[in-house]
Structure 1
């Protein structure tokens, strides 16, 4: 797979250029499985360190994190969405955070514009899962569909979970808003949604891969073959540091930490052994890279390395 990295400047008028700093979007592109692949940014999250590391053994944690230059107060993981396109389709994996979740996120439409993609041109939106930074971007400030011509695709288990009225009471106080927000947005697209199961071909050449744990029905997606195969992993492997260095450790970002750890170990083992490319929603360098074994865990090698 031939990888290209380029910097694209979002379109601005001459008057705006004089007063407003340019916003640059780093994009990774490639050809794979009959599609052009483009990594597009939705900005980043801002999260306290405790979100990732609370409850872990501090001495062992310090050792595991020593190779990484992480801030001591808060982390700012990027949000990388996958865009695939060919002559027939423009496919977006996840919809970003939209305007209502976090000020540092919600930049997807600017990124798409920089890539020359209008929201009306998107034919399909495929969801890895229903968390806000992946789902809430389907609606704009006026609750209109951002991708008005798209067909939407979500795993059956994930759809049923977020559409269940009991979820808001079971998910816990910290995530109750996630359930309310997901239910409202899924209701808005329910007449345009197709559900699928593990192993189904969601769209031509794109196969669903169950990766439960981060959410009850989290899905990843495989396309291509051999050394050019790509796994669009969503949040199944949620960061470039501890998720790789200690994949068996529980993560507070996973709704089922034990299952999430098992899924993470299984995926990383396969990615390293078969040398499948990984596209991670919260991984650095646009999210695209390889996985290799390192000590008792793994490490992420960005495509630019």
Structure 2
């Protein structure tokens, strides 16, 4: 089952659009030596369950979701944008969705302002991928760059995919609006973009990791200071329930479902074994935590 714009808009009932002050400004912080990493909220999405859970064993799916208090009909994942402050840089990992995607999201500017960060303070915006809730916030209400003084960094493969005029025809009608929106925003910031590949250090202490599958060029980022590290995983691990309990299941959120599952399994195994901290864009409680093995599966342990 592919998500459609009609499905998205149909799920946006007034009763689920209100994000109270706690949810709006929810954040968590960790320190890696002189590097401070904070997650701030861009709000949340409202997604139909059939988008995330297509063609899955119903009984096992219901059991997993009930353990986490998640509705099978409508899912409201949080959107955690990562902020890194170190050595004179103020770096955002992803830019949120702006005001053009869902009324329940697009709260990043307010969340940053609550901790004293103005858009002009941001020096770098590092993009995991080109989906609306990660990219569309690079432009403001007037289609000007939201972060006027920032440079932008994106994986070359991901930039090329969304900038290719053929993508809108090949991605499928359900995601065609994603392609149009991404191309327009990337064109607006292209002259300020720097591109990189897998295993490149794109900023001091920040290493790129190819995490393809959710999108063709999706990237994660390891922030490291000495022996301490955290992985900013974007949407490579997309939720705290099914993705951990059955990472081998094919997620409807992934554009390449088989590759997405393989990437998810690899990351969870690595994170559990190395006990590296994880930041997930759609994970609960600010998105920062650890991965633990739970029998043949995994579980997310928030850093609260």
Same fold, TM-score > 0.5, yes or no: yes
- Is the aligned partner of 1:256 residue 2:256? yes
Give distance in 1, aligned partners of 2:101 and 2:214. 19
Question: Aligned partners of 1:298, 1:114: CA distance in 2, in Å?
Answer: 34
Alpha-carbon distance in 2 for matches of 1:160, 1:266: 25
Which residue matches 1:73? 73
Query: Per the alignment, in what secondary structure is the counterpart of residue 143 of structure 1?
Result: coil
- 8 A contact 1:33–1:224 mirrored in 2: no
Match of 2:21 among 16, 20, 23: 23
Q: 1:18-97 to 2 correspondence within 5 Å? A: 23-24=21-22, 25-32=25-32, 34-97=34-97
For residues 141 and 121 of structure 1, the distance between their equivalents in structure 2, rounded to whole angstroms, comes to 19
Corresponding position of 2:172: 172
Structure-1 separation of matches of 2:49 and 2:146: 32
Q: CA RMSD in A?
A: 1.4
- The structural deviation recorded for 1:62 is 2.2
Does the 8 A contact of 1:246 with 1:296 survive in 2? no
Aligned-pair CA distance for 1:63? 3.1
Cα displacement string for residues 61-120 of structure 1 (whole angstroms, at most 9, x for unaligned residues): 223334211124311000000000124100000000001000000000000001110100
CA distance, structure 2, for counterparts of residue 225 and residue 191 of structure 1:
31
* 2:209 is the alignment partner of 1:209: yes
Contact 1:33–1:223 (8 Å) recurs in 2: no
Q: Number of matched residues?
A: 284
Tell me the equivalent position of 1:13. none
Deviation at 1:210, TM superposition (A): 0.3
Give the whole-Å Cα distance in 1 for the aligned partners of 2:292 and 2:63. 19
| Whole-angstrom distance in 2 between the partners of 1:63 and 1:132 | 31
Consecutive unaligned residues of structure 1, counting only runs of 5 or more, are 1-20
Matched, 1:136 2:169: no
Q: Partners of 1:152 and 1:41 in 2: how far apart?
A: 20
Q: Quick one: distance in 1 between partners of 2:48 and 2:284?
A: 18
- For structure 2, the 5+ residue unaligned runs are 1-18
Distance across 1 between alignment mates of 2:20 and 2:276: 35
Residue aligned with 1:99, SS:
coil
**TM superposition outliers: structure 1 runs of 4+ over 4 Å:** none
Residue 266 of structure 1 is matched in structure 2 by: 266
The residue that corresponds to 2:221 in the other structure is 221
Work out whether residues 33 and 205 of structure 1, in 8 Å CA contact, stay in contact via their aligned partners in 2. Answer: no
Q: Deviations over 1:208-241 (max 9, x none)?
A: 0000000000000002267631000000000000
